[in-house]
Structures are given as structure tokens and as C-alpha cells.
């Protein structure tokens, strides 16, 4: 367990050569919290431990082992009309189902797979998943509409989710949301004409120590201010801040920077907001 020192440095690293005590890893990015502290792994970059670049380029059939159930699915590449569960995706679906004694247990991973392929989970995708698992369409729809990480209509290449819950609200979440909307000239939940961006207001993203938190696809941006918005958007357009390791698009996360710049953080999971049904 690392301990914070009065100087703002943190004890956590392994002793350096010739040292008599633990090394001190300086905080990165100005945040006095775990996001800037790498402890015993001070040789790793933030991208190594908080990003999803470690996923690499996995085969579409999922490869082997339990990884078939945990591949990134909030990708920039989206094909709303793509066929579901065909070719290598059919192989992965079979591997996913095989990992559960009750086929119903594969429901969330199969919904993830449907969203990975199309970028959203529509009624036909829910019906297909229900057919594969021997469930009623109503049951699948009830689950898919309960979890907010499933988009129920097509969204932009980059789904921008701005947290406006308590911590982020107190630190300017509403202003950050408005900055995205004004910069992109779009209304909440509406996709920009070029198909690149959909902006949503969401509840807690679980990054309360680093407000304002913004989740864009599977990437978290922390300490975001309205002034940061143009640079974030420009980075996404240029491909610098994309984190779609599964399809090989974009670059990995960058290291945190000082001076109040937004921190590109780790992958999201169940947080996020759905695009409302039409």
C-alpha cells in the first residue's frame, strides 16, 4: 500500500540501486490520486496500465480462452447494417456460449458482440440473440434496455459521454457538455452530419476523483474543462486519441500531462448512456 508524503510524493516504487528505502514516484498530471501513481510499476507508462492498447489486435473469432467474453466493443468503426454472427463472429458466439452451463449466461457477451459489429443493438439484433439463446425477445429487450452501455440506435463514430453527476457537476460538467455541443454544433443525442460525433449527458462514470470525466467510446478523459474540448475533438479527428485496439484503428492513450491538460485514462466498461430509441 502506498503512502502519501507531506511533499506530495508517494512511496510505492521498488528501491533504486544503492538506495536504502523505497523510491518515490512523483505524481503525474497534478492529481493526488491513483491515476498519477504507478507504485511498484513506475517503469510503465499510463497507456500501459490504464489504456486498452494491451488488448492488441485480437482475431475476430476471439482466439482462445476466456478473452472471447471480454473484447472491446465500443469501437469507432461501426457498420449499422452489417450481418450479425456470421463468419468469425459466429465462431466467437459459439465459444462464448460454450463457456456458460446455462446459455442465458451468455446474454451480455452476445449483446456486446452485436454492438461491436454494428455500433448499436436494435430490435432485430435483440431478436437474433434471443433466437440463439432460446430466450424470449421480451426478456432480451428487458436486459438490453436496462444496461445503459447499449446504444439502441446508431451513433457517431465517437460517442462522447459527459458526466454531469455530483462531483463533475460541481466542477463544471454542464459547462463541458455545453462546450462539446457548441463546438460540434449539435444537439444532445444527435449525430453530427459527418457521422463522427454523438454527444450525450450521462450519470456517474466512476471517475469522481478526477472531474470532469468524459468517456469517448472506451476511453476516459479526466480533468476536462471547457477549454480542453477543441483539442480533444481535434485529436479524435486526427486519430490521436482513438483507442480501438480491437480493429487496429487509432493510436493508444498518451501519458498524462501537467498544467491541467485532460488525462487520457483507461477503458470504460458498464458506464455510459444509450442513444434513446426513436
Model confidence pLDDT, tens digit, residues 42-65: 676 656 655 555 555 678 888 877
CA 132 to chain centre: 27
Level-2 CATH architecture, domain 158-267: 3-Layer(aba) Sandwich (3.40)
Cα-based angle 199, 176, 35 (whole degrees, multiple of 5):
100
pTM above 0.75, yes or no: no
Extents of the domains making up the chain: 3-44, 79-146, 158-267
The cell numbers describing 172, all together, are: 463544471
Dihedral sign (CA 77, 83, 87, 92): positive
CB 74 within 8 A of CB 115: yes
Supply the pLDDT for residue 6. 41
Cα-based angle 34, 215, 1 (whole degrees, multiple of 5):
10
Task: Dump pLDDT digits (tens) for 223-234.
Answer: 999 999 999 999
Give dist(CA 24, CA 14) in Å, integer.
9
Please report, for residues 83, 147, 218, 231, 264, the alpha-carbon distance to residue 157 in angstroms, rounded to integers and kept in the order given.
Answer: 19, 21, 12, 17, 18
Question: Do the first three CATH levels of 79-146 and 158-267 match, i.e. the same topology?
Answer: no
The cell numbers describing 73, all together, are: 466493443
Task: Dump pLDDT digits (tens) for 73-130.
Answer: 888 888 888 999 999 999 999 999 999 999 999 999 999 999 999 999 999 999 999 9
Supply the pLDDT for residue 216. 92
User: Which candidate, 161, 149, 214, 215, places its Cα nearest to that of 189?
Assistant: 161
CATH of domain 79-146: 1.10.10
Helices (H), the chain: 46-50, 88-98, 107-118, 123-133, 137-146, 166-170, 173-184, 229-238
For the chain, report the end-to-end CA distance as a whole number of angstroms. Answer: 49
**Residue percentage of the chain with pLDDT more than 70:** 65
For residue 263, which phi and psi values (nearest 5 degrees)? -95, 125
Considering only residues 45 and 17, tell me which one the structure prediction assigns the higher pLDDT: 45
Give dist(CA 226, CA 229) in Å, integer.
6
Amino acid at each position: 500500500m502506498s503512502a502519501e508524503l507531506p511533499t506530495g510524493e508517494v512511496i510505492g516504487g521498488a528501491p533504486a540501486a544503492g538506495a536504502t528505502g523505497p523510491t518515490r514516484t512523483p505524481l503525474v498530471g497534478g492529481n493526488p490520486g491513483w491515476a498519477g501513481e504507478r507504485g511498484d510499476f513506475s517503469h510503465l507508462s499510463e497507456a500501459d496500465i490504464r489504456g486498452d492498447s494491451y488488448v492488441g489486435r485480437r482475431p475476430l473469432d476471439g482466439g482462445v480462452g476466456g478473452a472471447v467474453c471480454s473484447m472491446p466493443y465500443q469501437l469507432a468503426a461501426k457498420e449499422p447494417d452489417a450481418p450479425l454472427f456470421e463468419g468469425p463472429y459466429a465462431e466467437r458466439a459459439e465459444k462464448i456460449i460454450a463457456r456458460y452451463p446455462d446459455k442465458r449466461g451468455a446474454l451480455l457477451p452476445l449483446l456486446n458482440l452485436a454492438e461491436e459489429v454494428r455500433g448499436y443493438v436494435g430490435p432485430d439484433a435483440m431478436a437474433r440473440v434471443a433466437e440463439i439463446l432460446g430466450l424470449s425477445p421480451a426478456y432480451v429487450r428487458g436486459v438490453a434496455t436496462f444496461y445503459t452501455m447499449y446504444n439502441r440506435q446508431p451513433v457517431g463514430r465517437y460517442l462522447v459521454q459527459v458526466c454531469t453527476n455530483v462531483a463533475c457537476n460541481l466542477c463544471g460538467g454542464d459547462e463541458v457538455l455545453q462546450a462539446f455541443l457548441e463546438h460540434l454544433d449539435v444537439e444532445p443525442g444527435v449525430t453530427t452530419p459527418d457521422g463522427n460525433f454523438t454527444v450525450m449527458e450521462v450519470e456517474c462514470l466512476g471517475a469522481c476523483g478526477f472531474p470532469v470525466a468524459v468517456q469517448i467510446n472506451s476511453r476516459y478523459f479526466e480533468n476536462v474543462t471547457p477549454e480542453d474540448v477543441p483539442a480533444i475533438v481535434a485529436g479524435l479527428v486526427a486519430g490521436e486519441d482513438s483507442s480501438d485496439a480491437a480493429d487496429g484503428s487509432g493510436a493508444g492513450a498518451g501519458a498524462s500531462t501537467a498544467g491541467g491538460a485532460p488525462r487520457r485514462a483507461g477503458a470504460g466498461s458498464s458506464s455510459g448512456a444509450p442513444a434513446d430509441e426513436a
